[in-house]
Amino acid sequence: MEELGIHIGAVVTYQDGFDELANGNYIGRAFDNRIGGFMIAEVARLLRENNKKLPFGLYIVNAVQEEIGLRGAEMIARRIKPNIAIVTDVTHDTTTPMINKNIEGDVSTGKGPSLSYAPAVHNKLLALVEDIAKNKKIPVQWRALSRSTGTDTDSFAYSNDGCPSVLISIPLRYMHTTVEMLHRDDIENTIKLMYETVLTLSPKTNLNYL
């Protein structure tokens, strides 16, 4: 195989591409978590196009190696030392075959981004995001997570003596396959929720529990 340029350690991937299905559904490989990178880039685009001036420094970053230990997020958190972290990732559409709703909760594509209660999620920051969703009429779904969110939220939340963090997830069917599926409305609503959250935050935002 050397003559083909394929060597031990060479990276290969499936050729499957992107397709648009009926009723606002998209399929493709590696939406987890390329869609997260797209959505945070859209937040940046909206801020620029709408000439929004933020009263704080905003870092928009796309982490690597989440699946093998949250390593990219750990490096980012140590380098930037953020005061607040808004994290986006995919979450299971629990109507997917072989997904147990008793474990994963009740979440479906097309019904809005998913917010989570979890040890790594800051309750006051989560309440702020929930209020924004209500005020802006953005539909959300809910999950309860236990020891770990399984996302970069865990790295940010426990970094640098603690960082208030919130997780805004987008429902995904057939996770970790070449035909992952998500819904256009969820993409738009997740972008809107992150965008409105960034606009709401300020140095005066009080996230103290006491």
116-143: pLDDT as tens digits = 999 999 999 999 999 999 999 999 999 9
Q: For 128, what's the count of Cα atoms within 13 Å in the CB-facing half-sphere?
A: 23
Catalytic status, residue 74: no
Specify the amino acid at residue 55: P
- pLDDT value, residue 1: 67
Distance CA(149)–CA(116), nearest Å, equals 8
Q: How far is CA 119 from CA 72, 81, 88, in A?
A: 21, 20, 16
pLDDT tens by residue, 134-182: 999 999 999 999 889 999 999 999 999 999 999 999 999 999 999 999 9
The answer to whether residue 7 scores a pLDDT higher than 70 is: yes
User: Active-site residue among 20, 66, 104, 196?
Assistant: 66
Domain 14-200 has CATH 3.40.50.2000: no
Distance CA(74)–CA(66), nearest Å, equals 9
